Amino acid sequence: MCETELPMFDPNHHYFPEFGDPSLAAFLVPFGRLMFGYANLDREISDIVGAATGNDERVQRDDVTKFIIKHAGSIPEIKAIKEQLDRSAKSYDLRNDLAHGHWWRFDPSNEAMEIRRDRCRDGEQFVTVTRAQIDQTADQFEDIEAELFKIRRAIEVRRQKYEVTQLKIGDRVRVCNEAGEEFGTITRVEARGDSFDVKRERDGKTYTHWHFDLELFELVK
């Protein structure tokens, strides 16, 4: 049963506040941080799905791990991804209250906004959100985004190492970098996939490249 009774009116509170209300100025800065943090985390979640599966399809947060397992199997990073997504659940709930709920009453004395949720949760229709809570949630979004970025880089590095081991001695490659376009021949491939050597056609010199350089190379038939 959801509690919907409206609290008593208080003359010191601001009812149905608008964004232009000067008393909201300090409240809106952390709210902006939270919304940017939310958007950045959503983008990182999409990026990690793409890195893991090679699929750019947009996936709902609750379906991310199932989608990855379906398209890429149970990758080594799947547990860490799930842990970070689970951490984000309460932050998303608070963001949704702020974004979709009705800002009903603002108390300037403690910088707290009372919100009528768009849907009842845990038997409560109203929730009070303070500036401190919003700041903490913004920090949480940023922290989870950073952790998912680390996981994504681990996935990308692992995939690049695997792709290095697919190179063969004698393969002709084209490298495109800031210096322009050059051609060369693979002369060595490290068994673990960490590095490979390329002998340049331009001057006959051999250079060692690492797995994270692989995106610069293209096999030439």
Q: What is the identity of the amino acid at 193?
A: G
Q: pTM surpassing 0.85?
A: no
Q: What percent of the chain has pLDDT over 70?
A: 93
Residue range 45-86, pLDDT digits in tens: 999 999 998 888 889 999 999 999 998 888 899 999 999 999
Does 114 score more than 80 pLDDT?
Answer: yes
**In which element (H, E) is residue 116 found?**
strand 112-121
Does 107 score more than 80 pLDDT?
Answer: yes
What pLDDT is stored for residue 62 in this prediction? Answer: 92
CATH architecture of 172-220: Roll (2.30)
**CB burial string 179-203: b at 16+ within 10 A, e below:** eeebebbbeebbeebebbbbeeeee
Backbone phi, psi, residue 117, to 5°: -60, 150
What pLDDT is stored for residue 36 in this prediction? Answer: 96
Domain ranges (residues) in the chain: 14-163, 172-220
Does 97 score more than 80 pLDDT?
Answer: yes
Model confidence at 21, pLDDT cuts 50, 70, 90, reads confident
Average of pLDDT values for 129-145? Answer: 96
